[in-house]
Amino acid sequence: MLTKQELRSRILLKLKRQKEEDRKNKSRLIKDKLLRQREFKKAKRVMFYIAMQGEVDTQEMIETAKRLGKIIAVPVCVKNRTSLRPALFKSHAHLKKGPYGIYEPVISRFIGLKDLDLVITPGVAFDKKGNRLGRGKGYYDRFLSRIPKDTPSIGLAYNLQILPRVPTTPHDVSVKKILFA
């Protein structure tokens, strides 16, 4: 069994090598799957992530969710850069690079964790049980451990990010569902 760091390196390399056209097509397929999810249809307030290089692109998902009248939040890195908070998100035009090069709103108006109806999460890799391998800093594990237990969380991934098993430690938090293409 590979270590988390070895798995992370291998998957990130595969993501980097993926063709842009494939990435766009698969992101569209994943968006279509998301729109059909009961959890998404019911949700009024959805927290998305803003995709980094190689991740499932959420831009079209966010735009569609806005058109459907949903309130959108995105994560902002706070508290000495150790935790995430959901901030209201209006438009891609008002973004700045955050502490780790991840885009976040220029002006942060936060919403409460209990006010989120759905959390869409990135990951480097997932297994079918919902275990997730992140980038190694524990941000989403800490975040997901703080949201109400009944708040659905959905991980987005490309096929190449779905593994038979992701190694876990006691502080790792899984997602309730994974959508991939």
pLDDT for 74-111, tens place per residue?
A: 999 986 767 899 999 987 778 888 877 888 898 889 99
For residue 98, the model assigns a pLDDT of 84
pLDDT for 133-142, tens place per residue?
A: 999 999 999 9
Can you tell me whether residue 109 is helix, strand or coil? coil
Please state, in angstroms and rounded to a whole number, the distance separating the CA atoms of residues 61 and 30.
Answer: 9
Query: Which string of DSSP letters, residue by residue, matches 9-71?
Result: HHHHHHHHHS-HHHHHHHHHHHHHHHHH-HHHHH-SEEE--PPPTTSPP-HHHHHHHHHTT-E
Query: Model-level pTM?
Result: 0.95
Element (H, E) at 178: strand 177-180
Instruction: For each of the domains in the chain, give its residue range(s) and CATH number, in order of start.
Output: 4-180 (3.40.50.10420)
Residue 66 in this model has a pLDDT that exceeds 80: yes
For residue 106, the model assigns a pLDDT of 87
For residue 2, the model assigns a pLDDT of 87
